[in-house]
Amino acid sequence: MNEPVSICAIASVSPLGDENATIWENYCKNNHYLSLRNFDKFEAYVGEIPNDVNLNLEKLKNSDSKYKSLDRSVLLAMYTARKALKQVAWNDEFGVNIGSSRGATELFEKYYDDFLTDSKGKTATLTSPTTTLGNIASWVAHDLQTNGPVISHSITCSTALHSLLNGIAWIRSGMSKTFLVGGSEAANTDFTVAQMRALKIYADSDPNQKYPCKALDFNKEKNTMALGEGAVSICLERGIQKNALAIIKGIGYATEKLKHNISISSDAECFQKSMKMALKDANVATVDAIVMHAPGTVKGDSSEFIAIQKIFGEQLPMLTSNKWKIGHTLGTSGMLSLELAILMLQNQKFISVPYLKEEPKNTPLQTILVNAVGFGGNAVSILIARN
């Protein structure tokens, strides 16, 4: 990477809350934030945004008549984008790239249900504009009144980190000095959870289990993935800025050939390539920790770990993941992992996984690698360093 890029602001909303101090406090606890939710025809564990944050989202929704018709994923993106932009002194020429794996999930399912029950097969006038994937970034740009480029996209579960790559590319090309990037996902719906359950990767609904999702437990014999909802917005600036929360030192990306619809290879070839690319200007020994994608599935967790072993050999960094705590937020997940990495650098504390036996090393945290991958093996690796 020829030129460093600074992360100058970050704002998120997740099952951990929406304020930096609260989020960090909850990360430092050993309990998870998944709840057993009663859907229409089944029960399932999901990570849900706290009630007080939902009240704030409702205020945002009612603040403008146009916002009342927007999907929850759009509102989450607008909410975090507002909070992030307040932390920087930008003009109105910045770019926006907000991605989502599934987009306007709640609204799309609602409109489709209404269509099925309508005797004449009609649907609401605003069905199409409010359920297109592009309306997430478009509404964020409208709300923030920017005149810069606006991009929405979906690359499954690596979507948010692909937004980061796009922002970096625009900045490095000279086409934009600043870029707001992120991801938003609100897919805790009956149909979406049912789809994940159909893949046989979902966590059991046993209310007595201490940790429903066992991400990074390489000895587990069954899949334990659980969905979560959330959004993240990050402000990027060219060069090393004094107010930077962290510096992006390396980026990597790769896609491997599809063997079937959902898996990556047993040794995660895409992760090997993306990590090598991100580390091309760094010594592997300087990486203190890795925030793994680790969705809580048997094959997903193990293949990524094998890839890490092949890249780092016996010099394994400390390994962690946040999906056991908040669930898999699909397109947003990589950016929430990046937030965890930034918080660990800022607070100089490694957040370990409580049900694992490994003790964290008592060493300063200077450099952390963050991984994300989606269906079909589209991996992204981001190397960040303390400013």
Mean pLDDT computed over every residue of the chain: 95
State pLDDT tens for residues 143-172: 999 999 999 999 999 999 999 999 999 999
Joined tokens for residue 204: 């059991």
Burial code (b: 16+ CB inside 10 Å, e: under 16) for 311-344 equals bbeeeebbbbbbbbbbbbbbbbbbbbbbbbbbbb
Please compute the mean of the pLDDT values over residues 254-261 and round it to a whole number. 73
Which pLDDT score, from 0 to 100, does residue 295 have? 96
Answer whether residue 229 shows pLDDT above 60: yes
Choice among 4-8, 129-133, 182-186, 250-254 with the minimum mean pLDDT: 129-133
Which CA distances in Å does 125 have to 69, 103, 168?
11, 19, 37
* % of the chain surpassing 70 pLDDT: 98
Which pLDDT score, from 0 to 100, does residue 268 have? 84
Is the domain covering 5-385 a CATH 3.40.47.10 domain? yes
Domain locations along the chain? 5-385
Which pLDDT score, from 0 to 100, does residue 114 have? 94
Which CA distances in Å does 58 have to 37, 71, 186?
21, 12, 15
At 361, the pLDDT band (50, 70, 90 cuts) reads: confident
Q: Residue 159's beta-bridge partner residues? A: none
Full-model pTM:
0.96
Answer whether residue 263 shows pLDDT above 80: no
Which pLDDT score, from 0 to 100, does residue 251 have? 97
Q: Smallest Cα–Cα separation from 235: which of 7, 3, 12?
A: 7
CA distance 134 to 233: 16
Instruction: Look at the block and give the residue holding tokens 């029960």.
Output: 43
